[in-house]
Amino acid sequence: MHDAPLISPENKDYSPEILAGLPKVDIDVTFEPAQMPTTPEELTAALRTTVENLVKDNVVYAEIRLDPQSYGFGVEAALEAAESALGVEGIDARLLLTSAPQSAIARKGSTVAGYVISGELDEQVVADLRANFVPFVADVEGEDFQAVAAAVQAGATRLAHATQLIDDFGADLDGIRPGTVSCWIRDRHIALSFDPLREVAELPDHPLPLLQQLGFTCALSAGAGDINESFVALTQAFGYGLEEYFDLTIKAIENSFSSQEERQVLIEEVILPAYEELAQGEEE
């Protein structure tokens, strides 16, 4: 756990320019090229453009979804093409594979960070991932709450778009209380990644502030969008400030699929200094 630098509560200047300058971490980027790549070279170019756009948004660490089986030139060629696109200065970019052929599982390492499983869980795929100590995200968007419980029981390391967690909540005279499953998720710090601008019809209805207040481990994602727009929207809808963004950013990097050493370097050399600089600027 890292404490946020002391930011004066009188500082209300959370302009888009200041928010854009903050270092970002997005652990659930969606790769959506304008046209489907038909060659390895096209895939490399399209993915590199995505990574370069993340750098422009000041994203310093990203995990990007990719389905290596969706390209006609084969899984291995797709993985090699994608990996060659990630080496852009200013960002540590990794892949989250959304299909898990055995050859891809075997490649899990510094570039292939983990996997995303959407919808119903395939028991054999999940078993293979666990057997190989490969972390995976369960994308439960659009599913009922039982899918959340099943994902946790299957060993999901993170949950994506789990807005239905509040279906497990109850209320009494003391306030809102998480239920059995949601308590398990909160108490074991299972990370929840949210893309608030796409998950609800009206942003004020999003459960992110409530979940943070109740102690859940939350991270912010922008999918295929601009994460700076998400920062601005949260400020406008909920009054989010630097403390909230620091918390979301730290939770994201701490629950990334990179190594502990790599996380610490980013926190101590990139994220903390940026926030400390803002805090020092207030004192001058």
Residues 20-57: tens digit of each pLDDT: 999 999 999 999 999 999 999 999 999 999 999 999 99
Q: What value does the mean pLDDT take over residues 156-166?
A: 97
Tens digit of each residue's pLDDT (9 = 90 or more) over 81-132 = 999 999 999 999 999 999 866 656 666 677 899 999 998 898 988 998 888 8
Q: Report whether pLDDT(282) > 60.
A: no
Q: Report whether pLDDT(11) > 90.
A: no
Q: What value does the mean pLDDT take over residues 130-137?
A: 90
Helices (H), the chain: 16-21, 40-56, 75-83, 102-105, 123-131, 145-154, 180-187, 196-199, 208-213, 227-238, 242-254, 260-266, 272-283
Q: What value does the mean pLDDT take over residues 174-185?
A: 93
Domain boundaries, the chain: 16-270
Handedness of CA 135, 141, 145, 146 (dihedral sign): negative
Helix (H, G, I), strand (E, B) or coil at 3: coil
pLDDT number for residue 10: 56
Closest CA to 236 of 273, 202, 270, 259: 202
CA distance 128 to 125: 5
Q: What value does the mean pLDDT take over residues 136-155?
A: 96
DSSP state of 150: H
pLDDT number for residue 277: 87
Q: Report whether pLDDT(4) > 90.
A: no
Contact between 115 and 132 under an 8 Å Cβ cutoff? The reply is no
Among 1-5, 153-157, 162-166, 239-243, where is mean pLDDT lowest? 1-5
Give one DSSP letter per residue of 105-140, joined into a string. HTT-SSSEEEEEEESS--HHHHHHHHHTT--EEEE-
pLDDT number for residue 267: 96
pLDDT number for residue 99: 82
Tens digit of each residue's pLDDT (9 = 90 or more) over 196-253 = 999 999 999 999 999 999 999 999 999 999 999 999 999 999 999 888 999 999 999 9
DSSP state of 204: G
Fold topology of 16-270: TIM Barrel (3.20.20)
259 residue type, one letter: S
pLDDT number for residue 83: 94
Name the average pLDDT for the chain.
91
**Which two three-digit tokens encode residue 127?**
């078993």
Q: Report whether pLDDT(147) > 90.
A: yes
pLDDT number for residue 108: 67
pLDDT number for residue 102: 64
CA distance 60 to 17: 17
